[in-house]
């Protein structure tokens, strides 16, 4: 997914695996959070976590706001309804995404009982993603219209082959334009039958976090050891790290964070046995 060299370096991201079976939920204001390992893998420079409402009780304003220069909320299940400044009401549903600061300006949040979301944030571009001109980055504001800039889960938002794999469908969540190419977040789904042999061994010129949304598969990263993965599992893979998704189900889908947005995918030989 790259035809010209990216002007940005990939941030240092170490390997990390955060399976759902080991999840530890902690209080995060009015919500509960589960860390997805990206903070540890990036030395605290970038964060990603799950959020859920333990009792579904409404809250007046979005909790745990900070000065992050980039932040996105992606709904994993349930719904989130809130009021915006002009008196309108908006609802996020499963697999919808929204860039903050819109949520930080909204009020009166109502959660479905099964609400769960993914919260991705970059506190500081300069330290996390390298030096550069940040004057035009993340000048996001909700456009005029009924959808308030929400990226919706609809079939029309997916394109087959719009990424490294011709057998995958990709849905761009809009972060590339908002971060001047430093961050790309997309959903990736198998298009039809999963190919025999999976992706094959390869590496990327970017660092990444992926989170399995549906289905299951098997991945090897750095070594030939096979790691079963399924819905709710998250993995961080740094630039240049060999990996191979050797098998996956026909309903396999992930949300993937790529740093930077422009990157190469390079086929490679397997690591030594």
**Residue 167 maps to which CATH number?**
2.60.120.10
Mean pLDDT of the region 193-213? 89
Question: What pLDDT, on a 0 to 100 scale, did the predictor assign at position 180?
Answer: 77
pLDDT at res. 255 = 97
Q: What is the pLDDT of residues 246-262, one digit of tens each?
A: 999 989 999 999 988 88
Higher-confidence residue of 131 and 161: namely 161
ω into residue 260 within 30 of 0, thus cis? Answer: yes
In the predicted model, what is the mean pLDDT of residues 190-217? 89
Whether residue 211 is predicted with pLDDT greater than 60 in this model: the reply is yes
pLDDT score for 185: 93
Average predicted confidence (pLDDT) for the chain: 85
Is the entire prediction scored with pTM above 0.85?
yes
Q: Please indicate, yes or no, if residue 5 is contained in any of the structural domains.
A: no
Of residues 230 and 162, the one with the higher pLDDT is 230
148 falls within a domain: no
Mean of pLDDT values over 217-226: 95
Region of poorest pLDDT, from 6-10, 19-23, 27-31, 218-222: 6-10
Calculate the dihedral angle through the C-alpha atoms of 52, 56, 61, 64, rounding to the nearest 10 degrees: -30
Q: Is residue 84 part of a domain?
A: yes
Determine, yes or no, domain membership for 99: yes
Asked if the model's pLDDT at residue 135 lies above 70, the reply is: no
Give, rounded to a whole angstrom, the gap between the first and last alpha carbons of the chain. Answer: 29
The DSSP bridge partners found for residue 212 are: 254
Q: What pLDDT band is residue 142 in, cutting at 50, 70 and 90?
A: very low
Our CA angle for 50, 214, 236, nearest 5°, is 55
In a domain, 144, yes or no: no
Alpha helices for the chain (secondary structure H): 38-41, 102-105, 125-129, 175-178
State how many domains the chain has.
1
13 vs 9, more confident:
13
Residue 232 within any structural domain of the chain? yes
In terms of pLDDT, which residue wins out, 68 or 186? 186
Place of tokens 């976590």: 49
Q: Which element (helix H / strand E) includes 217? A: strand 216-221
In a domain, 149, yes or no: no
Mean pLDDT of 99-120: 88
Q: In terms of residue numbers, what domain contains 260?
A: 16-129+158-267
Mean pLDDT across 130-144 = 47
């Amino acid at each position: 997914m790259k035809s010209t060299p990216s002007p940005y370096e990939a941030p240092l991201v170490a390997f990390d695996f955060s399976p759902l079976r080991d999840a530890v939920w902690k209080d995060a204001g009015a919500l509960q959070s589960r860390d997805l390992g990206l903070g540890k893998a990036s030395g605290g420079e970038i964060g990603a976590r799950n959020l859920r409402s333990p009792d579904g009780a409404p809250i007046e304003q979005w909790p745990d706001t900070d000065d992050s220069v980039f932040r996105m909320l992606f709904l994993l299940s349930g719904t989130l309804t809130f009021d915006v400044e002009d008196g309108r009401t908006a609802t996020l549903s499963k697999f919808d995404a929204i860039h903050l600061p819109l949520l930080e300006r909204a009020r009166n949040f109502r959660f479905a009982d099964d609400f769960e979301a993914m919260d991705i944030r970059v506190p500081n571009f300069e330290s996390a993603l390298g030096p550069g001109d940040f004057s035009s980055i993340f000048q996001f504001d909700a456009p005029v219209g009924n959808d308030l800039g929400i990226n919706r889960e609809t079939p029309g938002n997916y394109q087959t082959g719009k990424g490294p794999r011709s057998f995958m469908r990709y849905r761009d969540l809009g972060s590339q334009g908002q971060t001047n190419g430093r961050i790309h977040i997309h959903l990736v789904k198998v298009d039809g039958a999963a190919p025999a042999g999976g992706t094959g061994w390869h590496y990327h010129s970017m660092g990444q976090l992926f989170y399995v949304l549906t289905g299951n598969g098997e991945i090897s990263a750095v070594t030939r050891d096979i790691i079963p993965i399924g819905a709710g599992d998250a993995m961080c893979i740094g630039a240049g790290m060999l990996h191979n998704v050797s098998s996956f189900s026909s309903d396999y889908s992930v949300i993937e964070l790529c740093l930077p947005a422009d990157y190469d995918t390079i086929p490679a030989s397997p690591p030594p046995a």
